[in-house]
Structure 1
């Protein structure tokens, strides 16, 4: 079906291309300054990461070690108290019968008026402090080193404490007698202090050595980071090569990959800017010279309509070429290329409507769309419109007298076909290159198909060039197939 639909939304305007160029230039300038910005990475006076890591590790290890020491001291204190208590219980039970026999021997079976003093220690190696009392708390017998204030605790079987002594009381199974044995708490404290001292001294001694070892380890392990930082600092607008470093850990490999992606985008932006400058110098030199020559001729020989018209034609050609260069720059930069639903039928109708404003083009250009409804494709409507315009302009230019067909083919293809002389098969691939024209006797800039090729690459589309078109003896066909 041949139609002429209304213009679609989102068509491209020259202002879009200018804005795209400004964005590309901004990125390029940022890339040119990247080298100078990285020079501040090694300014003196800043704490190195190795020093911070070493300090943190030392403090962390010291704190954990101290907590472990306190836990060990707590555990050792419990174990020491438990062992001392067991020993106290054992000694008390072993010496009770001996103390009773000694008391009976010294008292002669009578209750003495004064407490009796044991004549000699029951245990030679470690004299035990003890006393024996009856149920009425009357002191009967005590060791020579015992004092009444040592046993200032209630008379009850089991353990009891005074500020300086640990007392264990045991009751005789058949007689109303109690034996109290005292153990100095200072001995237990000394044992705990010796344990704490034995644990803390190695810690304090090892901390400087541990700090040195951790510092060397941190410097060694952070060497890849310093190498990566040096590589990043060495990059500039003239050196945007990817960073290739082997043996990087996973975290630094991710950073390196991200930096390489950034360098790639900067290199692309700079290449676009350089290409724009080169293309401008290449394409604008001739129309500028022609316009200047025509105007100078008109001034020298009096203003004539023919010379002024020729100058206007040259300026129109200059404007057209400038628009082409902006289109090419935008396409190559890939700036702001969206991925939104695009109706190919509406897009083709909008582009055809622009050409139908020219009576000569309206007579030659026809639009064919399918009868059935097509699903939208994903792409950038402005970029695709630029591509279609260039394909139609090429077809109108290289088939000056023949018909040009713009056709939308289901499910997601749009093609431009002309009935001109066509192109030799061995030259089809070369047409995609910049500044390559179909024939030497035709005017043109050699940018149209280059722009379309670049847009197709950024949109993930496939551009096919066929000459002659299938089923025809002559002509040329450009087929743009969008991805599924």
Structure 2
């Protein structure tokens, strides 16, 4: 029962009932105020009409009863044929001396100033009219209770339907609310069914606009969760694949060094294996960062400064300094849009690949318009049928096992995240051999 009271359908029903009841009550009060005015207006018109008609009758009755002598006290008119319809009135002269009074009238009924028009006592509404030719006044009294009774009947007639209709209206609104909120329950059930093993997008037809936006947001969240889980699984798989060999090599070399008295060559071989392990771990972290969509930032990037910074890192190695040549444009370039860290990772991988596969040849790093980074080497190149496969993981340009097969995959992922175009060309235009990677960014 408590759950039903706290349900959205129950809360919506209560809110609607209270709102409708409050609006209805305000309307009833407004109608009662208006009806009270109309009833008073109609009663007053009737009172005026009766007063005018009764004046001649009252004068005739007074003249016939007095028969020429001045009465010491007010005369009492004979009762009418229908007592329940008798009009309460009295006639006075200009000195407020009572002359004639209806049989059901008492002097205290007319305790108001003598002046033409309406006057009110706690129990009566008095209308006073003056005779047009004689110094006579007729005062007719109408009971206030009759007016109140008419207003009460009107109010009762309006409140009874309200009290009767509200429960029925509540039931109808509750059923309507439950029916209209059924898509929300269906959406909640679909969301509850999703988990680490089921991240399918939610597809429900006929959802209202508000729930459709919620469904779209949940689907985007599920998509990001699925991508994050894929990155996590891929990182684990790549780590198991790439780190197994250098770990085994380092363990074997160290064990050999221990068995043979720590020979220098074995220790150096173990250090080389550990260096390869560190390098591969760095590549895996780069790949994980690229695939986790961390490279989605869009900020102005100075490609000349970026290329110079990355080139200086390689120039610190004497062998790379002799082979890596930086070519900069003569005119200033407009900044590109992207993430500077992600683009630096992509550029490093392109240069590492070129230095590795160029066979001691020169590697050209060029910044060109519009917003283009080019890495070109004079190595043996890649057959056309292998160019497309180079973007996949663990695919190498040669079979000498010197690389890890991750560099171009990392570059391709970053380019996709940055909305850039990556072109792999072999041989470069105007050359007989070599390999060129061209990264075109948005400006």
Q: TM-score range by the shorter chain?
A: over 0.9
After superposition, the C-alpha distances for 1:425-476 in whole angstroms (9 at most, x for unaligned) are 2221111111111122342111100100111111111111111111111111
Q: 1:202-260, CA deviations, whole angstroms, 9 ceiling, x for partnerless residues?
A: 11112211211111111111112222222222222222222212222222222222222
Q: Trace 1:101-180 onto structure 2 (pairs within 5 A).
A: 101-121=60-80, 126-180=85-139
8 Å Cα contact 1:463-1:481 kept in structure 2: yes
Q: How many residues align?
A: 442
Q: CA RMSD in A?
A: 1.7
- Deviations 1:139-180 (CA, angstroms, capped at 9, x unpaired): 111111111111111111000111111110100000001111
Q: TM-score, normalised on structure 2?
A: 0.96
Secondary structure of 2:423's partner? strand
Alignment-derived partner of residue 322 in structure 1: 281
Q: How does 1:443-462 map to 2 (within 5 A)?
A: 443-462=402-421
Secondary structure in structure 1 of the residue aligned to 2:224: helix
Deviations, residues 335-394 of structure 1 (Å, cap 9, x unaligned): 264322211111111111111111221111111111112222121111111001100111
* Aligned residue in 2 for 1:340: 299
Structure 1: distance between partners of 2:322 and 2:266: 30
Cα distance in structure 2, aligned partners of 1:346 and 1:121: 117
Equivalent position of 2:398 in the other structure: 439
| TM-score, normalising length: structure 1 | 0.88
Task: Sort the Cα spacing of 1:76 and 1:452 in 2 relative to 1 into closer, same or farther, 3 A.
Answer: same
Residue aligned with 1:51, SS = helix
Determine the C-alpha separation between the residues in 2 that align with 1:371 and 1:122.
Answer: 124
Match of 2:342 among 359, 363, 383: 383
Give me the whole-angstrom Cα distance separating, in 2, the residues matched to 1:170 and 1:281: 113
8 Å contact 2:295–2:414 — kept in the other structure? no
Please list every run of at least 4 consecutive aligned residues from structure 1 whose deviation after the TM superposition is greater than 4 angstroms: 43-46, 122-125
Structure 2 equivalent of residue 242 of structure 1: 201
Return the alpha-carbon distance in structure 2 between the equivalents of residues 358 and 132 of structure 1: 129
1:283 aligns to what? 242
Paired with 2:10 and 2:78, the residues of 1 have a C-alpha distance of 70
1:194 aligns with 2:153: yes
Answering whether residue 252 of structure 2 is matched by residue 293 of structure 1, we say yes
Counterpart in the other structure of 1:473:
432
1:259 aligns with 2:223: no
* Secondary structure at 1:423 match in 2: coil
Counterpart position of 1:6: none
Does the aligned pair in 1 maintain the 2:328–2:367 contact within 8 Å? yes
Q: SS in structure 2 opposite 1:428?
A: helix
CA contact (8 A) 2:372 2:441 kept: yes
Considering Cα pairs closer than 8 Å and 6+ residues apart, tell me whether 1 or 2 has the greater RCO.
1
**1:297-330 Cα distance to aligned partner (Å, 9 max, x none):** 2333343222222221111111100000000000
* Greater mean deviation of Cα atoms: 99-108 or 127-136: 99-108
Tell me whether 73-82 or 309-318 shows the greater mean CA deviation.
Answer: 309-318
Q: Is the 8 A contact 1:398 1:442 kept in 2?
A: no
The Cα shift of 1:117 comes to 1.6
Q: Is 1:215 the counterpart of 2:180 in the alignment? A: no
Deviation at 1:45, TM superposition (A): 8.9
Rate the CA distance shift 1:46–1:303 in 2: closer, same or farther, 3 A. Answer: farther
- Between 100-109 and 58-67, the greater mean CA deviation after superposition: 100-109
Q: Secondary structure at the match of 2:430?
A: coil
Equivalent residue, structure 1, for 2:140: 181
CA distance in 2, matches of 1:328, 1:365: 24
Q: Shift of the alpha carbon at 1:110?
A: 3.4
Match of residue 50 from structure 2 = 91
2:247 aligned counterpart, secondary structure: helix
Determine if contact 2:4/2:10 at 8 Å carries over to the other structure: no
Q: For residue 228 of structure 2, what is the aligned residue in structure 1?
A: 269
Gaps of 5+ in 2: none
Which whole-Å CA distance do the structure 1 matches of 2:296 and 2:63 have between them?
112
Of 390, 402, 415, the residue aligned with 2:374 is: 415
CA contact (8 A) 1:122 1:128 kept: no
